[in-house]
Structure 1
């Protein structure tokens, strides 16, 4: 099960200064962490960008997702990170393995030194860097991030494992590419023009998103219809509504079973998770909390 969230590079287009933009991105990263999102991707919206571009958005989000004990070594000093002191702490829970008593937690580490004997020194946030063996067939370089499984801290027992680093991953990706992934799951466009979510629809949706989903959000004053060039009436509830039984039927399906290459057509559902909103504008970070809270229900 993979949970993916996409936000546009124009996410902080209305921010007055770097401090405000950084704080906004911090709440986006926090929403993704609270609801155990695996991938937080930034897709390009060049027309909507103003002072802050995709490089700034991606860098701040990736910094926020980095464990605090690795931030200084991983990022150093960068212009984009001048105001990271305002970021809210994510406090992500540890991912544990199958060992007894809750041991065997996964941690991120950074290789600080590569030795000639198949061992490397790794900073993984413990009291001292650990000297660990590199698994057979695995090559690592200085500065590379690795995944460490720690089964005991006193005495230290840890090993490098050939797995993806735990926690939230952040990178840039084209919207079309993200929606085309084999593990995209249910593809959801979050929009005030979408179908209003109610108890009945939520009950139908919950079993499907349990196997994974990809949720896409717009930016201030530029919702997904504006970003994708879709007129709002085209994304209102359709005559043939999506249902749990329509696994292979969506607005993006062609008669021969292939998928359309138009990003707007690749969504399985346009969803409004804040029906009857009391504010003229729902901010992106607010929409994330509202949408992901619904998708998190079992």
Structure 2
């Protein structure tokens, strides 16, 4: 526990100062025709964003008059990778654009637990989903 009563102590490095924000063009990855290769490129990008603890990602359209449909693909794959593995089935239905996300490497972030062991200090960070029956 930390010095404050009831505050859990998480073992994540502190966020960088200043905060890191990244702008990505919506055409990122469109130079490849293969969905597998596009997915891999976005996966590598998402992994780099996680490694450098990017706080905010903005996908911008290079031509605001013609929105690029690839922007939705980028957002979907990045959101999928950022979602805890045990929640993905509920939050992301089967879609053609997510066909190859299974080949992407997992992210090592606090919301993606590595094992079922209790961490030092007995506290663990988990995300949840509340659903109506």
Same fold (TM over 0.5): yes
**Compared CA separation, residues 112 and 40, structure 1 to 2 (3 A):** same
Is 1:67 paired with 2:84?
yes
Contact map agreement 1:8 1:44 (CA 8 A) in 2: yes
TM-score, normalisation: structure 1: 0.33
Answer yes or no: is 1:54 the counterpart of 2:61.
Answer: no
The number of residues matched between the two structures is 107
Counterpart Cα distance in 1 of 2:55 and 2:40: 21
Q: Which runs of 5+ in 2 are unaligned?
A: 1-16, 113-119
Change (3 A) 1:41 1:104: farther
1-structure distance, mates of 2:111, 2:38: 28
Distance 1:24 1:85 in 2: 14
Quote the residue 2:10 is aligned against.
none
In 2, Cα distance between equivalents of 1:63 and 1:45: 24
Specify the SS of the correspondent of 1:110: coil
Q: C-alpha separation between the residues in 2 aligned to 1:89 and 1:54?
A: 22
| In 2, Cα distance between equivalents of 1:55 and 1:94 | 23
**Any idea what SS the aligned residue of 1:111 has?**
coil
Q: CA deviation at 1:68?
A: 1.0
Who is 1:30 aligned against? 47
Q: 1:105 corresponds to which residue?
A: 124
Counterparts of 2:63 and 2:96, CA distance in 1: 21
Q: Is the 8 A contact 1:12 1:21 kept in 2?
A: yes
Distance 2:122 2:58 in 1: 31
Deviation at 1:112, TM superposition (A): 2.1
Checking the alignment, whether the CA contact within 8 Å between 2:43 and 2:104 is kept in structure 1 is: yes
1:217-296 equivalence runs, <5 A: none
Note if 1:90 corresponds to 2:117.
no
Q: State yes or no: 1:3 paired with 2:20.
A: yes
CA deviations on 1:139-198 (whole Å, 9 max, x unpaired) are xxxxxxxxxxxxxxxxxxxxxxxxxxxxxxxxxxxxxxxxxxxxxxxxxxxxxxxxxxxx
Q: Residue deviations 1:191-239, cap 9 Å, x none? A: xxxxxxxxxxxxxxxxxxxxxxxxxxxxxxxxxxxxxxxxxxxxxxxxx
RMSD: 2.5
Once the two structures are TM-superposed, the CA of residue 52 in structure 1 deviates from its matched residue by 5.8
Higher strand proportion, which one?
1
The structure-2 alpha-carbon separation of the partners of 1:45 and 1:103, relative to structure 1 and needing over 3 Å to count, comes to farther
1:15-39 CA-to-partner distances (Å, cap 9, x unmatched) read 1211100000000110011121222
Tell me, yes or no, if the aligned pair for 1:12 and 1:52 is still in contact at 8 Å. Answer: no
Partner of 1:80: 97
Unaligned runs of 5+ in 1: 96-100, 115-298
Determine the C-alpha separation between the residues in 2 that align with 1:109 and 1:87. 23
